[in-house]
Amino acid sequence: MKIDITTGWLETARQVVSPNADERPPGAVPELIVIHGISLPPGQFGGPEIEQFFCNRLDVTAHPFFREIENLRVSAHLLIRRDGELVQFVPFHRRAWHAGVSAYCGRQGCNDFSIGIELEGTDEIPYSEPQYEQLAATIDVLCSTYKTLDNQRVVGHCHIAPGRKTDPGPAFDWSRLGPGRH
């Protein structure tokens, strides 16, 4: 696994470009990795809806829940599907819109200085073995490529937006990523 430092794309990931991204503020670099959990429709896996959602192409008539999220414009740098497939939506040097209102160690606006990784899943259903393996390998390559990242600065969405977000949830086994993360 390798990142093309010029383009910011992970060479082993399938690329699906999201319009929900922009440039990081001047001087901002990736310093934090944020783990998320997502399933669309809620509790269902394997369909095209996450990609459609991140690309503003979700058919809001296909499921009642989609009406609740139809005006959201969000993305993440990466999605790790249940089978371990990597899908990249935003190059790592750009700002993906994944964290929303958030703070880490007193710094507001985590999108400015983080990389967002979505895991296809829910707070309650255990994540898959291929997801943990892919996530650990991805964190390692991110930290070796971007020297501003530290493998001890890996947190959940719940840690940077407490009270507002719960993902990746209690079903996520932090110990699988090694000591000191989250």
- The single residue of 31, 49, 51, 118 carrying the catalytic annotation is 118
Burial degree of 176 (CB within 10 A; 0-12, 13-18, 19+): middle
Angle value at C-alpha 104, between 102 and 105, nearest 5 degrees:
145
Cα separation, 36 vs 46, in Å, equals 17
CA angle 32, 36, 40 (to 5 degrees): 150
| Residue 51 designated active-site | no
Q: How far is CA 91 from CA 34, 46, 175, in A?
A: 15, 23, 28
Cα–chain-centroid distance for residue 79? 6
What six digits make up the tokens of 73? 């414009």
- The residues annotated with a catalytic role in the active site are 118
